[in-house]
Amino acid sequence: MNGPDRTAFTTGLRALADFLDANPAVPAPPYLTAHHFPARADDTTMRAAIDQIAARLGTPAEIEDADCGHYSTSIHFGPVEYKALAIFADARARHAAETSYSGCVRPDHTTSERR
């Protein structure tokens, strides 16, 4: 993300920090992760995109969990994390298959009807 969207994002982050500092009664989350996903492409291209970001960050890129098919790199600023993450084709296909019936199966009655 570059240009106006990037500027809007970083401006929003600063505004959030200023707001939380100015309003101590408002709870702040214990951590925050800002995710960047490379453009969907073949696995090799997405791996290269993550490797380029890792080189810029000076951090390693790694397979998070071989079963999940996630390849990532990240850097922490205290409890705030910037994470670049590629989700490989097999993992996306597995997720699509697992959720293919989402919304199609409905219970006979709702919780409120059982009371």
pLDDT (average), residues 27-33: 96
Three-state SS string over 14-73 comes to HHHHHHHHHCCCCCCCCCEEEEECCCCCCHHHHHHHHHHHHHHHCCCCEEEECCCCEEEE
Instruction: Quickly state the pLDDT bin for 114 (edges 50, 70, 90).
Output: low
Reduced to 3 states (helix: H, G, I; strand: E, B; else coil), residue 88 is coil
Residue boundaries of the structural domains of the chain = 37-102
- What's the pLDDT score for residue 79? 96
Tokens (6 digits) for 13:
């982050």
What predicted TM-score, i.e. pTM, was given to this entire model? Answer: 0.76
Check residue 14 and give its pLDDT.
96
Q: Which of 30, 22, 42, 15 is nearest to 78 (CA)?
A: 30
Query: What SS3 state is found at 11?
Result: helix
81 pLDDT exceeds 90? Answer: yes
pLDDT digits (tens, 9 = 90+) for 48-79: 999 999 999 999 999 876 667 789 999 999 99
